[in-house]
């Protein structure tokens, strides 16, 4: 198994991309703390993982709250010993996402989860990664964090641009300490987040999109590179969609 002996914390792991990454890492031998706001969803995901579920430990927490993040990582370190890999995947969008309709409350919600949540998790793991001289941080951003997107909306794009800048800057600062900060920027992915669109895509359209397991394979690629190599930014899109 490619990640035997490794440990990981994966946020947003109750469904979609985070769930797929947590299961993939566990199938490859890693012990994984899966984090999400719903304990029920986390347990359902763990049970559905079969034998790999024995290496998944659910923990319900809202990553936008500093005290809860601090408690999460204290608990995770007690369970895992060390944290080799952090995957920041927790993310939200809203239905009313145009500037005409976007409320201050919804804007703050997206910044708090998509950007501040990642910052708090990175801040929690960095000291011990520095002390060990190594560690891997994978931030799941978006194409909307590379190019502003009307489809994603102003607030979502702003939060993901912020996450992209955060991820790249952490990599530049911490590479000398053996810590890699890598960012995955996917195009459209078939996840429950699509249900928050004003026009919800149908089954035929969803089938053409990236699937959560595609992102899990991308994360596994990053996680299995030799520590001397890093991928600061990985853009992955559906084959049928143009990107240039």
Task: Answer yes or no: 156 catalytic.
Answer: yes
The edge-to-edge listing of strands for the beta sheet with 179-186 is 56-60, 31-36, 7-10, 85-88, 135-140, 179-186, 233-236
Interacting residues of 216 by C-beta distance below 8 A, sequence separation 6+: 17, 20, 21, 23, 24
Beta strands in the chain (DSSP E): 7-10, 31-36, 56-60, 85-88, 135-140, 179-186, 233-236
Q: Please tell me the total number of residues recorded for the chain in this structure.
A: 244
Of 25, 73, 156, 161, catalytic: 156
List the catalytic residues: 156
């Amino acid at each position: 198994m490619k990640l035997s002996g490794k440990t990981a914390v994966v946020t947003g792991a109750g469904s979609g991309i985070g769930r797929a990454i947590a299961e993939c890492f566990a199938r490859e031998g890693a012990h994984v703390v899966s984090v999400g706001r719903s304990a029920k969803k986390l347990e359902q995901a763990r049970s559905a993982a079969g034998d790999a579920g024995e290496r998944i430990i659910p923990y319900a927490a809202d990553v936008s709250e500093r005290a809860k993040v601090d408690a999460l990582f204290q608990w995770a370190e007690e369970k895992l010993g060390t944290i080799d890999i952090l995957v920041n995947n927790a993310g939200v969008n809203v239905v009313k996402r145009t500037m005409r309709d976007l409320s201050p409350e919804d804007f703050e919600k997206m910044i708090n989860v998509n950007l501040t949540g990642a910052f708090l998790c990175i801040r929690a793991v960095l000291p011990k990664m520095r002390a060990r001289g190594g560690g891997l941080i994978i931030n799941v951003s978006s194409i909307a964090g590379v190019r502003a997107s009307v489809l994603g909306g102003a607030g979502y794009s702003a939060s993901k641009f912020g996450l992209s800048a955060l991820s790249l800057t952490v990599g530049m600062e911490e590479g000398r300490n053996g810590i890699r900060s890598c960012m995955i920027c996917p195009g459209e992915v078939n996840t429950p987040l699509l249900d928050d669109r004003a026009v919800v895509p149908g089954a035929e359209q969803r089938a053409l999109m990236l699937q959560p397991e595609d992102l899990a394979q991308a994360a596994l690629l990053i996680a299995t590179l030799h520590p001397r190599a890093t991928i600061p930014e990985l853009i992955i899109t559906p084959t049928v969609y143009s990107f240039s």
